[in-house]
Structure formats: structure tokens, C-alpha cells
Amino acid sequence: MDFIHPKLKLSALWLFILLNVIFRDIHQFTMKSHLEMLLTGYYNGMEVTEMLMLVGGIVLEIPIAMVLFSLLLKRRINRSVNLIAVIITAGLFLVEPPSDLDDWFFKIVEFLGFIAILWTLRNWKHDEGTPVLSLR
């Protein structure tokens, strides 16, 4: 079996989670009821304000940043930062419960990605001395 450096694996997993979040949102925008709700200025009974949009942007920035940080940070710091990012991101994703079947599907897939990140962190014992990207 080919060896995939944990840094590459973590970065790919964060990208996997991020793409699922983005495509879940795009998928929601195809529903008439979702668009009508957004046009009222309220989402699930909550007023959509500039502050809410800022908080949403910050939450989404975590997986975006982790795609890069997973590649750049050294192992010890990388493991800690990834663990904190998983706890924060997964916790915040739980705040908004799934509302329909496709939401359940995407949430399950995203949480499988979080589990894979935690598994990778748990099994990343030391840097093997191999380059992050090797074109053997």
C-alpha cells in the first residue's frame, strides 16, 4: 500500500468536508421554499443580520484555513490545531440540526470526514522523514 503523508491526508479531508458543506448549501438554493425563506430576511425563524453573516463566514473559514494549515504546520502543532478545528467545526455544525433527508446525508458524510481526521491524528505518531509530496 502506498504511503500518504498525514499532512496531505488531513488537507484532503478538510477539502472533502468543505466541498460537502458548499454543495449542501448550493443544493438547498435549488429549493423554492428555501429561497422564499431567505428573501424574507429570516432563516428558520432567525433574522439574517450582518453579524450572523460574519459569524457564518468565520465558521466556514475554519475548514478553508485547515486545508492550508494542515500542509504548513509542523506535526505537534498540526495535531493540536486540527483537533481544536474539528471540535469547533463539528460542534458548530451540530447547532443547526438537519431539516430534511439531503441535510442528513451531507451531515453524515461531513461527520465521517471529521472521524477520518481524528483517526489520522491519532495514528500520526511521528514524521516518517518522507517528503510530503514525493513523485517516485
pLDDT value of residue 12: 97
Cell numbers 438547498: residue: 28
Angle at 47 between CA 43 and CA 52, to 5 degrees: 90
**Cα–Cα distance for residue pair 15/12, rounded to 1 Å:** 5
Q: Write the pLDDT tens digit of every residue in 8-36.
A: 999 999 999 999 999 988 888 888 887 88
Q: Write the pLDDT tens digit of every residue in 65-110.
A: 999 999 999 999 999 999 999 999 999 888 887 878 988 999 999 9
**Cα–Cα distance for residue pair 115/61, rounded to 1 Å:** 20
pTM, to two decimals? 0.85
